[in-house]
Structure 1
Amino acid sequence: MEWPEYWICASWPDNARVRGVFTSRHGGNSVGPYGAGGGSIAARTGGMNLGSHVGDDPAAVAANRARLGALSPGLQVVYLDQVHGTGVADLDTWDRRSVPQADAAVTTTPGLAACVLVADCLPVLLAAPGGTAVAAAHAGWRGLAGGVLENTLKALCGKAQCEPSAVQVWLGPAIGPLHFEVGEDVREAFVDRQAESATAFRMTRPGKWMADLFMLARLRLQAAGVSAALVHGGGVCTVSERQGYYTFRHDRITGRQAGLVWIAAPGITMERQG
């Protein structure tokens, strides 16, 4: 069966046990503003909203989450209580009942998926060599400026006992540089910590700038020791391609898509969803 429209399967060269997926607004059970893109809002169906906090029908969200969990036999997707911060949850010590409050998660446990939900913010997936550890991070501008990627990378490398230069990274869909206008405070939050970040901002009018989240993430990862050649993806804009992805900045009332990554158990292959 084919992947639902606009889903992105992250490939991990020489890291056969790692699986990663970025979902879209297509392929599920939600309707209305949470439905798949195209046509009038009232007529929309087939939405893959995974957010339980955005006003969607809880039964539709539960069905969508069940479908995501069926990507691989025995897969358990761990959802976070995201607060636009820099905390990293250790899923290896998770009690499997509570909802961790964090904006990133790391694990070495096969079949346990680190997952972040987004609708313009940047989802970032990371994998250690040999599939010994994986992590997912929710990188909105606040978390990105505050160090969520550096914290996630540190936690991942600590788990895997590897160097940042060996870590593979995938950047998922997010609001692109033609649509993400920010104020001087946002620019200063990045440039004050990393001068090179100035290249990721383009002035549109006095005190206003277009920001490139993809470039900002790459710059922060490279400064933390990640090889530029091992950073994949990026460049897919949720606003420009809003028929395929949820976008909070454009729609306000909308769903959430996911970026998730996990270690497959030996002999397990990913099940394709149609």
Structure 2
Amino acid sequence: MKVWIDADWPAPPGVRALTTTRYGLGVSAAPFDTFNLGLRSGDEIEAALENRRQLEVALGLPSAPRWLKQVHGVDVVIEPDFDEPEADAAVTSETGKVLAILTADCLPVVFAARDGSEIAAAHAGWPGLSTGMLEATLAAMRAPAAQLQAWIGPAAGPQRYEIGDEVRERFMAHDKRAAMAFVATRPGHWWVDMFAIARMRMADAGIDPQHIHGGGVCTISDSLRFFSHRRDQRTGRMATLVWMSP
């Protein structure tokens, strides 16, 4: 099985982005088998750290990833170091600096200036997506949104991710057009298409829709490749990485 999935976008010069899968490398035991990269998911810390070491070697990364302490918020760190700041997105214009986001159903979204001069990575579950995580990331970048492109990695898909009325109401309160992303399932519950909402939010923020890529690979429905918190509850985390080659 392939260890990672490369971003399906026309990569700017020197930019690479990808999302890892759950197998192919790693030493973690079930239910974190085998390539869990999260340190706070319940896995043995030593195993997760070894998995991170294997990731760096397998990809030949130019530096160790700058991991974040993700909290489902809207904070963005500029030029992250190795202190694992509490934030859900990071931005850099430095070559060789690897940005990293952990997910197991939430949206991983990477951004890049189309001239290859700046990148960002954002973690957006429904709390962050509804409160402006993607917009906050774009606002933190130096390049204007019209000069950016985006890739949405694997996340909970629209035919498997069910939410309640309270979640739908939060999105609808922001923009009534979000109604197109919900399909009723049973009383008080809905399938939600987070990919569609993310595309709409990014387009409204100024990214040309033709430069928004990805969005369509479901973590819940593909247990062979992906961890899924919604499906399994106790599970590992994939990493989405983006960097500019030195």
| Cα distance in 1 for residues equivalent to 2:42 and 2:240 | 21
Structure 1 unaligned residues grouped into runs of 5+: 36-46, 266-274
The secondary structure found in structure 1 opposite 2:54 is helix
1:60 corresponds in structure 2 to 47
| Cα distance in 1 for residues equivalent to 2:103 and 2:201 | 20
1:32 corresponds in structure 2 to 30
1:44 corresponds in structure 2 to none
Amino acid at match of 1:49: N
| Cα distance in 2 for residues equivalent to 1:53 and 1:106 | 23
Give 1:74 deviation, angstroms.
2.7
Aligned partner (choices 95, 99, 104) of residue 114 of structure 1: 99
Structure 2 unaligned residues grouped into runs of 5+: none
| Cα distance in 1 for residues equivalent to 2:190 and 2:61 | 45
Aligned partner (choices 71, 78, 81) of residue 83 of structure 1: 71
Aligned pair in 2 of structure 1 residues 7, 73: CA closer, same or farther (>3 Å)? closer
The secondary structure found in structure 1 opposite 2:222 is coil
| Cα distance in 1 for residues equivalent to 2:161 and 2:137 | 24
After TM superposition, the structure 1 = structure 2 runs for residues 1-274 of structure 1, keeping only pairs within 5 Å, are: 5=2, 7-13=4-10, 15-27=12-24, 28-35=26-33, 47-70=34-57, 71-91=59-79, 94=80, 96-156=81-141, 158=142, 162-265=143-246
The secondary structure found in structure 1 opposite 2:77 is strand
Give 1:131 deviation, angstroms.
1.4
| Cα distance in 1 for residues equivalent to 2:225 and 2:28 | 14
Deviation string, structure 1 residues 230-267 (Cα, Å, up to 9, x no partner): 111111111110111000011111100011111111xx
Give 1:178 deviation, angstroms.
1.3
| Cα distance in 1 for residues equivalent to 2:212 and 2:123 | 16
| Cα distance in 2 for residues equivalent to 1:82 and 1:172 | 17
Q: Indicate conservation of the 8 Å contact 1:202/1:209, yes or no.
A: yes
Give 1:180 deviation, angstroms.
1.1
Deviation string, structure 1 residues 71-105 (Cα, Å, up to 9, x no partner): 235322011000001110112xx4x3421100111
| Cα distance in 2 for residues equivalent to 1:205 and 1:172 | 28
Give 1:11 deviation, angstroms.
5.0
Aligned pair in 2 of structure 1 residues 200, 6: CA closer, same or farther (>3 Å)? farther
| Cα distance in 1 for residues equivalent to 2:111 and 2:148 | 7
Q: CA RMSD in A?
A: 1.4
Aligned pair in 2 of structure 1 residues 66, 6: CA closer, same or farther (>3 Å)? closer
| Cα distance in 1 for residues equivalent to 2:201 and 2:82 | 33
| Cα distance in 2 for residues equivalent to 1:239 and 1:84 | 19
1:43 corresponds in structure 2 to none
| Cα distance in 2 for residues equivalent to 1:25 and 1:106 | 26
The number of equivalent residue pairs is 244
